[in-house]
Structure 1
Amino acid sequence: MQNARAPCIGESPLFSIIIPLEYHRGQWELSWLGWTSQTADRSLYEIILVVPPDFAAREELKVLACDQARLEFTASDHDIGLCAFGAAKARGSYLFFTESHCWPEPEVIELCIRAIDAHPDWAAFSCRSVPICHNRLSEAEATMYQADIEFGMKQHPWRKVLDQCFVTRRDVYWECGGLREELGHFAEWVLAAAYHARGHAIGYLEEARFHHYYIGEIGELKTFTLDFVEGEIRYLSEARREPGSELLEVPVEWVEWAGFDVSLARAASNALLHYCFAGRGWRPPGEKLRAFWHWGALALCGDLPARFAARLAVLQSHFGLRALTMIGSSEAIARWMRRYIASLIHLQRLECIRSIRGHAGPAVKFLGDRVLGQVGFHALESSAGHTFRWSEPQAAVRIQGGAGRNTVRIRSPALRAPLREIGVHFYLDGVHVDASAIAIGPDSYTMDLDLPPSGIAILAWSCPELRGIGDSRRLGLSVASIEVSQDAGASISA
């Protein structure tokens, strides 16, 4: 089989092995030896060592690599950027991405060739990662990540790109957009989703084994999770509509951040204030105080309490994990490792969203393209054939239309009562909307409203509270969408 696939002189090799030399963890020589000890014919593959600017052993590397590898130097200092740069320089029909703290067993190339022959339907495949541990923290780290890898490779429908050992047809890699350096390690998920959305199968070659060195340092864990989260939030902020984007799950922090919009929280608080002072919707004093406290805290503090609580959770789990590495059992260390990573990701998401979006919530557009932000909404749900979100008794949305008179239509399935009987009151930029400007249909509220020259305004409402059976949430209106148009026939284009 090797002779049949051996290229003629001057032809491109079958594989381009791309090894980024960042994050080598002192293991790059073992990685190099693993690749130069392959049992497959050497003409079948080229080795591309992609060197970052701060790589300390450049002269040693040049001597060791000699004529057995190509050295590519780049200004990038991230593994994903180095891999992307190496892919652009590769000549092979297949790209083989790996990491410099991983080393292959001798028959990996041979096994990959057999897999290509045996699985013509595979556009790509990942190999098996075998953990190498040297302290108790690295053992817990490996346990956590190996479980995630096993789930991705064997159960998850598409999350099968493992950059420790990923082989792909070069043409499919470029068709799917390649690895994007600015997304960090989240780029692996984006690439995997693109393969799946375009109908390209990614297999799992379990018999091809790579040894992966786990460093077992809390600081490195923090750096890696931040890198992933920064890429995730950056990708969400781009609001891309490309094959695979619909597969990437939106984290709860991205959804909930909209509820920290201070100006919208003030509008909801103002709606509650006007509603109560007008004598509408009397409620017990304690309940009323809880509502004022809820909206007042959001209006004054925004996301500060949530970030403070998240930081406390990180500190607690960090010190707990450090203590357990000295006196705890392996099971306790593994448990607190997961707790630390989960709390760290939660905090980093909150911080990254804030840095990208500022003080206003992201334009998540869950209620339509003309809604730029919203507070006071529960999660998406379905009932009686409708897909919608319950608002709280008070809620506010930032809408975008044209300057002057606009028609705003809130589609609201009548799940709690006929809409005319609910008793909802609307406020535009703090001013009560007169009942004469509201047409109430069987499943919608339609309002004729004058928007300011910017075309952007805040629409808030307040209504009696609904408590569902066995449901602790405070419910207001069921909202399927909010549409804005300057005439009754056509919505404003986004």
Structure 2
Amino acid sequence: MRRSLLPKSSQQNPSDSNVLISVLMPLEFHRDQATIAIRKWRQDQTLQGSAFELILVASHDADAADMDEIRQLLAPQDRLVQTSAKHDIAQVAEAARHARGDLLFFTESHVWPTPTVLEQCLDVFAKRPEWAGFSCRTHASAPNKLARSEARMYEADIQHGMTESSWRKILDQCFATRRKAYGEAGGFEFDFGHFSEWLLAARYHKLGLAIGYAPEIELVHHYIGQWPELRGFTEDFVAGEALWLARGGPRQERIIEIPFEWSSRGERRKDLARHILQIAWHQRRRKLRPRLRDRGMLQVLRRHWVAALLGDRLDTSRARATLLWRHVALMLARAFGSDAQLDRVFRQTIAALVHERRLRTSLEVQKVAGEGSLWTPDELHAGRAAGIHAAEVYDGVPFRWSSDVASAELQLPAGEHLVQVQTLAHILMKSVKPLFYLNGQMLPIEAANVADGTFVLKVARDGDNPTILGWVSEPQQAPNDSRILGLPITRISRLEHF
């Protein structure tokens, strides 16, 4: 059930303040619009001036003359805070810590309000007590062709989030919220950069804090259409997303979709791909059971030979080349193309940039994500295995189907260990007797329980050498499923007692 968060009485604010709502504005990325925005907030609002405050945050090295000009525009209850932070998310999070109002309005210094914004916000909060917050609507100010294309793309994405997505309801350029709800959800976490907007929205949703959409409350968003800034914003978002993934975010905010580049990163590891080819060839050459037939061997080769030879280099090189070409096409479309052509190329260029950055960051954070248990089906461990399909859930139990040949890295200290491989035996179409390998050498099964699909292996790690466990199993066939299926793995773990 969604909860109702009624605003506290303004009498609970500090005794020297009648502030009902705090407008929070970072001054980073102001695009030369900060003084225009501040004037429209402080001089044009129909709400009585003493009923709201402006909390502005700038970096310590901001231009002193600009800061003096801004101070001249402020009312006595307003504040200009200077901090070491240079990121706008860090600055707006700092602004929230200084706010005295029980209602918060998050905005940007290149966004201008219409005169009735704050009065309308108070009216919406009064009429919709079940809303913990809501986003408003912005219209574009776009001085050039690329800026107009940028605006059309982002406005379409915003409209999707506000009207179709079940959770992507926070728009940090014009988001009003009850302060209690903002604190309960943890606020904007600046470590995650611009991805923190999605993260905060997911946390509101998880807590059952309703976020509405008030398109009748309008502001103007100034776009500048400069590729370096667009690229920087996009790269910052992807870097924050990667950090969230590396810290195990999907375990907490399950509603956020996991990017393919992250979930498939194990398939691009050279060591895992080579191990798969090694054990497949051993199985084929020795004619061992379960038998790997000609078609099966060809499928293994087709899937893993590129990664075994080049690792991730082919994918990353192809992504860089695609991004370069898209950038050239964007410049040409900007100069000579129609609006429709520019819009199409612009979307393709942003998509290419996101893909290229996700490929790079998924590998950069792999070591961070690699700590913890041996292997589970969740996304944190996806980079440790190859020959593994996407995560699924059966009767509440998460698992991943492996292919008929697969490998997983086990992070173990030096010495001998008992390792348990657990599977969902009751969903198998036929019984299996898999063969296990450790670093390319056959590994005997110490104990097995066919009924519950558990296999216990004795694994020895020698010094600092990597420990790669592989297996070959009888292929399974599922109705209406064209995938090559092997074992439905639920967990690989180390037993406490040897």
Q: TM-score, with normalisation over the residues of structure 1?
A: 0.87
Alignment of 1:52-451 (within 5 A): 52-56=59-63, 57-65=66-74, 67=76, 69-240=78-249, 245-280=253-288, 281=291, 283-284=293-294, 288=297, 291-292=300-301, 294-357=303-366, 365-367=375-377, 373-381=384-392, 388-399=399-410, 403-413=415-425, 417-420=429-432, 424-434=434-444, 437-439=446-448, 441-442=450-451, 444-451=453-460
**One-letter code aligned to 2:407:** A
1:280-315 C-alpha deviation (Å, 9 max, x unpaired): 33533x874663464343234221111111112211
Cα contact 1:424–1:461 (8 A) shared by 2: yes
CA shift, 1:440, in A, is: 5.4
- Pick the aligned partner of 1:48 from 37, 45, 55: 55
Q: Counterparts of 1:317 and 1:112 in 2: how far apart (Å)? A: 41
The CA RMSD measured in Å over matched residues stands at: 3.2
Partner of 1:338, secondary structure, is helix
Q: Counterparts of 2:368 and 2:217 in 1: how far apart (Å)? A: 49
Alignment of 1:10-25 (within 5 A): 10-25=16-31
CA shift, 1:247, in A, is: 2.1
Structure 2 portions without partners, runs of 5+: 1-8
Partner of 1:76, secondary structure, is coil
CA shift, 1:29, in A, is: 2.0
Q: Counterparts of 1:150 and 1:306 in 2: how far apart (Å)? A: 33
**One-letter code aligned to 2:488:** S
Question: Could you say if the C-alpha distance between residues 126 and 360 of structure 1 is closer, same or farther in structure 2, counting changes exceeding 3 Å?
Answer: closer
Cα contact 1:418–1:442 (8 A) shared by 2: no
Q: Counterparts of 1:45 and 1:87 in 2: how far apart (Å)? A: 14
**One-letter code aligned to 2:93:** A
Cα contact 1:389–1:479 (8 A) shared by 2: yes
**One-letter code aligned to 1:479:** I
Partner of 2:384, secondary structure, is strand
Question: Could you say if the C-alpha distance between residues 268 and 484 of structure 1 is closer, same or farther in structure 2, counting changes exceeding 3 Å?
Answer: same
Q: Counterparts of 2:54 and 2:396 in 1: how far apart (Å)? A: 57
The corresponding residue for 1:492 is: none
Cα contact 2:24–2:56 (8 A) shared by 1: yes
CA shift, 1:382, in A, is: 6.1
1:157-203 C-alpha deviation (Å, 9 max, x unpaired): 22111111111112221221111111111111111111121121112
**One-letter code aligned to 1:278:** R
Cα contact 1:153–1:204 (8 A) shared by 2: yes
1:92-144 C-alpha deviation (Å, 9 max, x unpaired): 11111100000000011110111111011111111111112222211221111
Structure 1 portions without partners, runs of 5+: 489-494
**One-letter code aligned to 1:251:** P
Partner of 2:314, secondary structure, is helix
CA shift, 1:398, in A, is: 2.3
Question: Could you say if the C-alpha distance between residues 477 and 21 of structure 1 is closer, same or farther in structure 2, counting changes exceeding 3 Å?
Answer: same
**One-letter code aligned to 1:118:** K
Question: Could you say if the C-alpha distance between residues 333 and 64 of structure 1 is closer, same or farther in structure 2, counting changes exceeding 3 Å?
Answer: same
Q: Counterparts of 1:292 and 1:5 in 2: how far apart (Å)? A: 69
CA shift, 1:319, in A, is: 1.3
Partner of 1:377, secondary structure, is strand
Question: Could you say if the C-alpha distance between residues 176 and 282 of structure 1 is closer, same or farther in structure 2, counting changes exceeding 3 Å?
Answer: closer
The corresponding residue for 1:27 is: 33
